[in-house]
Structures are given as structure tokens and as C-alpha cells.
Amino acid sequence: MTKALPNQKKKFPLHLKILIGMFLGIGFGLAMWYVDGGKDFTLDWIKPWGSIFIKLLKLIAIPLILASLIKGISDLQDISKFKKIGGRSILIYVGTTIIAITIGLVIVNIMQPGGGVSEETIETLTQTYGNDPGIVNKMVAAESQKSAGPLQFVEDMVPSNLFGAMADNGNMLQVIFFVIFFGVAMLLIPEERVKPIKDFFDALNDVVLKMVDLIMLSAPYAVFALLAAVVVSSEDPEILVALLWYALTVIIGLLLMVGFYLFLIGVFVKKSPFWFLEKLAPAQLLAFTTSSSAATLPVTMERVEEHMGVEKEVASFVLPVGATINMDGTSLYQAVAAVFIAQALGVPLDLMDQLTIVLTALMASIGSAAVPGAGMVMLVIVLQAVGKFEPDQIAIGLALIFAVDRPLDMLRTTINVTGDATVSLIVAKSIGKLGEPHVEDWDDYAENLSHDDLVQEKSDK
Ligand code: ASP
């Protein structure tokens, strides 16, 4: 889309602004470690600004899905296209997740991070975190997830009340279910009769995307606040060092996964990996900062649609579904963590056990909520499914990895978001729905021409 303003200045790229905010936030957080009362100051006066930012993003996620998916489906003309989008994305999601888990298992078996953990470290970590409310909560949450029957997941997808579904960001699949149902019904009614609804959602979609632009203006400040808060509440560096080899194993696995995505982008989308990374960077940086794919979703959608050219009908289905059911980073992490715990506690795992990990981590990736720390809840279920850990060993296992969970969560969320974006590009390309990017800035239509500009414009005519 052409710019409405004749005197566009070259803008400083958003991802660089966010990066600067991140570094300053980390620096500020580190400095606050050494200031008396610095931690409380950061948590009381700085962190809330970051939390407001996350709330704003979550606030617009549901209206954005609603508007863009209804518009997307009703533009389709032909319902078989939609079947293709659905089928392909689910298939590729499952495929990439299995590859992620396999990478995790191979790396953890090669690097053996659990082998080097001393009895003493296990003792210290168990004592420090064994009764941590964070761990106890995760065990309880896992128990309630586990008691669900095999078809519970499908049953949960169907809402009995639309407003109930929209009231909770965790019910994204229910909203998607309603919207698809609604959109298909719209396709079955003559176009002129549904035109008012279509126009309404069209306009709503534009407005919500503009809200994303406006919220993103505060992103550099928000990431400063969020990262400063993460740094001041992080664990004792000594404990982090004890888990360095384990953390490194997860990080190498995640990096290999990024390599795999870039390969897919090159081969199937025929685009340069640098192009992809540059366009997606703001969403990746936010995923890293917020540790939540759900909070990042509006930005991921905006980047993929406006900056990469994926058409609405693909992006508006593939990305929200991906944020809910596709978590490659999380499942890779679960594979590494499960085997690491087994190695550290001296529980031998044979091939069958590792296959069980593949299957349960795959299910866990579908079942994990897209919020911070969710991957660890599902890890409990993975460990239980292996069937070789005593309940208290599972608690010790969680205590072992708890200290580095937040930084690893930040990284795996970045991979989760990158995976969703990759799949949306592949699906779009495969059905001819990858068009030209059409970037809109927040101020494209703002009436901010100065008086001089207007005079100049008149005299040009
Ligand atoms: N925080 C992750 C996400 O939102 C889930 C997890 O691995 O804990 O994607």
C-alpha cells in the first residue's frame, strides 16, 4: 500500500528500538541488584508498565481473531480451500513438533547434561525449590489436566456460550470454532444479504490492526520494564551456573530448530532466511520478553500479514491455532528436561521410554497453554507417562530445572512463535495465498501534515 504522507521520514526500525529497550532493561535490572530496595522498586514501580503492555496485547487478541477470521473465511468463495488450509496446517504442525522432539532427544543423549550433576547440587536444589509454591502449583495443575478423558480436548473445543469463550484468552480454540461455524454459514447465504456483516468485520479488523500498531509504539519501554523485572527476580547466579550444561543443551536444540525453520523457508517459501528473520524480529523479541505466545499473537499476526504478505484467511486461522496447539520449542524442551532429570536421578531410559516421551510431548504441546511456565506443567505429565519415576522423584526433578525455567521459557516461546509463522508461510505459499507485503504504519492516515507542507502541496499542483 502506498503511503498517504508525502514527507515520510525514514524511521528507526522497530526491532532495533525493542532491542535497545531490552538491553537497557537488563542493565537496569542488574544495577538494581546492588541498590538497597532496588528489587522492590523495580517490582512496584517499573514492572506494572510491562504488565499493562501484556494486558493490552491480550485485550485485542480475541477481537482480532474474530474479525480477521470471519473476514478471511467469508472472502474464500470456495470452502474446499479452507479444508486445505486446515488439513495442511495441522499436518505440518504435527510434523514439525515430532522433528523438534527428536532433535531434543538426540541432543540430550549426545550431551548427557544430567551426568555431570553432583549429589550435592541435587541436594541443594531439592532443598531450595522442593517446597516452592511454583512447583507445588505445577504438580496440582498437572493432576487436573491428567484426569481429563481422551476426548476431553475435542469436547473442550466446542463452547456452550460465546461470551464465556471470549471471556477467557485460554479458550482461543472455542472462539475459532465459533468463528469457523459462523463464517461457513455466511458462505451459504447470498452475498448481498451478508454484506453488512462482512463490512462490519472488515472495518473492525482494520481498527484492531491499527490498535496493534499503537500498542507497539510502547513496546521498547514495555520490554525494558518486563526484562528489568525478570532480572531482579532471577535466581542466584551460582545455581544458574550449576545448570549451565543442561541449559546449553536446550539452547543448542532450539538453535537447530531455528536452522530447520530457515531451511523450510528457503526450500518451500523460496524466501531468504534473512528476510524472514528481519520481518518477524519484533514478534520474536516480544515472545522472548513476555514468555507467552498468546500475548505475542496479535503482533505475530500483524507481522505475518502486513510485513510478509500472508493473506488473511491463512494467517487468521493458522496463527491462533498454532499459538494454541503448536509448541515446538516447548516440546523440544520437555524431551531434553525429561531425559536430563532421568540422567541426574540415575533412572535408566530405554528406547520405548524415549518413544513414550515423543508421544506424550507431542500431546503435551497440543495441550499446553500459551502462557509462561505452561511447559513445565505438561512436563509432569510426560514424566508420569514414562512410568519410571516415583512421585517424589518427579518433584525433585522439577526442583532441578526450576531455577533456569524462566530464561529457557523465554527462548522456547520465541521458537514456538517462529514455528507458527514458518508454517503460516508454507501453507500460504502452497495454496497461492502469499502476496505482496502491505505495511501500514500507525500514522499513515494521521492528519499531521504541517501548515508548510500543505502550502507546498498546493503550490505543487
Ligand atoms: N511459554 C510458552 C508459550 O507461551 C509455553 C511454555 O513452554 O511454557 O509458548
Could you read off the pLDDT of 134-162 as tens digits, one per residue? 777 777 777 776 666 667 778 888 999 99
Identity of the residue numbered 450? S
Nearest-CA neighbor of 205 among 64, 110, 303, 107? 64
The more confidently predicted of residues 295 and 238 is 295
What domains are there in the chain, each with its CATH number? 14-435 (1.10.3860.10)
Q: Is the pLDDT of residue 457 over 70?
A: no
The more confidently predicted of residues 30 and 140 is 30
pLDDT value of position 122: 82
* Extended strands (E) in 198-347: none
N- to C-terminal Cα distance for the chain?
23
Which residues in 246-272 are b (16+ Cβ under 10 Å) and which e?
bbebbbbbbebbbebbbebbeeebebe
Neighbours of 241 (CB within 10 A): 10
Ligand 1 centroid to Cα of residue 59, in Å, is 19
Ligand 1 centroid to Cα of residue 292, in Å, is 6
Tell whether pTM > 0.75. yes
Task: Assess whether the C-beta atom of 327 lies below 6 angstroms from ligand 1.
Answer: yes
pLDDT value of position 146: 67
Mutate to test the pocket of ligand 1, among 57, 325, 330 (most ligand atoms within 8 A of CB): 330
Encode pLDDT of 80-116 as tens digits: 778 889 899 999 999 999 999 999 999 999 999 988 7
User: 3-class SS at 134?
Assistant: helix
Nearest-CA neighbor of 226 among 180, 288, 308, 274? 288
Task: Assess whether the C-beta atom of 416 lies below 6 angstroms from ligand 1.
Answer: yes
Q: Is the pLDDT of residue 454 over 70?
A: no
> Treating both helix axes as pointing N-terminal to C-terminal, what angle do 405-430 and 374-386 enclose, rounded to 10 degrees?
90
Lowest-confidence pick of 238-247, 305-314, 426-435: 238-247
Mutate to test the pocket of ligand 1, among 284, 292, 382, 413 (most ligand atoms within 8 A of CB): 413
* Extended strands (E) in 67-203: none
Evaluate whether 293 touches 323 at the Cβ level (below 8 Å). yes
Closest ligand 1 atom number to CA of residue 370: 4
Cell 520405548 -> residue: 352
Burial class (CB in 10 A: 0-12, 13-18, 19+), 189: exposed
pLDDT value of position 10: 61
Task: Assess whether the C-beta atom of 249 lies below 6 angstroms from ligand 1.
Answer: no
